[in-house]
Amino acid sequence: MCKVSIIMTSYNKPNYVGKAIEAILKQSFKDFELLLMDDNSNEDTQKVIEKYLKDKRIRYFRSDVKNISERTEKNRYAVQINKALSMINGEYISYATDDNIYKPKRLEKMVNFMKNNRKVKICYSSSCVLHLNYEGKLIKNVIRNAKNKLWVASCQVDHCSIMHKADILPIIYEKWHSYWDEDPQFYLIGDARFFWRLNHFWPFYPINEVLDVNYIMETSLHTQIIAEEKSEFIKRLPKQRTCWELRKYLKNLGSDR
């Protein structure tokens, strides 16, 4: 049993995944497990990951997905996260990706916030978003501030910036028969869809401090989807659902929650 279960999804980012793993392993708060969910990445990525697998806190799972048809029939990172959520041991759940870097005291500060606010089920922090070009040079720097309690968190918060209690999971599963929505219509806004589910029951409470850094590159999914020239992967995805419809629905719930 551990205090925090961290779920990291990984796919073909050999230049970043090592930094993401190291940032977690070097956390000031040590009582955690890292479920590293790799979606059958290329050899270069596997070589980087293998360097860290001797750490007993890491539980490594590699999928056997092989082709584009398999990758587009479901939201793959939702599939990977759902698998991990069925195996977690922690009291608290946090998320990471292979291009997201935790600040050294991220877990410590979030766990302390949850301990000091026992009625809170979900918290989120401010985050820094760095947009990089193909050469890896910074082209834009955005700070997502965490100032307000959110009943409409979809598309305002990234899943790498949240922590929630594990005891909310049975409630989500009972209502939707899954945790994250695996429908490929939500490939672009998978975390927003998960937050839509959470906000049916609980608000997100803010920690107004930057506790993670998120890298958005030309190869990132969000960038690929809005690019003029679409990859074969993007062409095979169904029409994507929107933030607007999720947020409108939650706003209409109003005081009914």
Cα–Cα distance for residue pair 157/245, rounded to 1 Å: 16
Catalytic residue among 38, 181, 191, 212: 191
Cα–Cα distance for residue pair 68/74, rounded to 1 Å: 11
- Looking at the DSSP assignment, which residues form a beta bridge with residue 171? none
| Tokens of residue 42, six digits | 């290329």
- Looking at the DSSP assignment, which residues form a beta bridge with residue 122? 164
Among residues 199, 184, 190, the alpha carbon closest in space to that of 153 is found at 199
167 labelled catalytic = no
Residue 210 burial (10 A CB sphere; 0-12, 13-18, 19+):
middle
Residue 73 vs residues 57, 85, 177, 234: alpha-carbon distances, Å:
32, 21, 18, 12
Cα–Cα distance for residue pair 26/105, rounded to 1 Å: 9
Residue 144 burial (10 A CB sphere; 0-12, 13-18, 19+):
middle
Active site residues: 191
